[in-house]
Structure 1
Amino acid sequence: MRDQDGEIRKKRSDTLVGTLRDEYGDKVAKGYRADTKLGTVLKKEGLESLDQLLKKSR
């Protein structure tokens, strides 16, 4: 989801990868199970935000 200025809104770290895939496509967090939390993925990937994860997933 994007704010009015076009920036991706900050997601909660307990958002599930499956939910993110529904919203942003199947390439998000490839290699992680759908029930993995966003915070876990960010920590393991050394990223700080969903935006960084999405850019990496392209």
Structure 2
Amino acid sequence: MSTSKNDAPGMKGNRARTEDGTLRQKRGDTHIGTIEKQYNINLNVRSDMHLSTYLEKNNIKSLNDLINDEKK
């Protein structure tokens, strides 16, 4: 079984690309607790909140923007 190299710097795990070559979006129904564990951040909200709800409430465009803002 061959392993594919992650081609996006700083991204954990392998993520598929869409037909136009962009990385696919993280599912909106992913729980915040999963994001906090995966990226070692604390967002100070309930862990069962959905990612899409958190992004909408905080006027954040994407998971990438969220991660980059938290690590600053």
Partner of 2:7: 4
Structure 1 unaligned segments of length 5 or more: list them.
none
Percent identity of equivalent pairs = 30
Q: Larger C-alpha radius of gyration, 1 or 2?
A: 2
Once the two structures are TM-superposed, the CA of residue 56 in structure 1 deviates from its matched residue by 1.8
Q: TM-score, normalised by structure 2?
A: 0.63
Structure 2 unaligned segments of length 5 or more: list them.
1-5, 12-22
Q: TM-score, normalised by structure 1?
A: 0.76
Moved over 6 A (4+): none
Greater per-residue helix proportion: 1
Aligned-residue Cα RMSD (Å) equals 1.8
Say whether the 8 Å CA contact 2:41–2:70 is kept in structure 1: no
Indicate the structure whose relative CO is greater, using CA pairs within 8 Å and at least 6 residues apart: 1
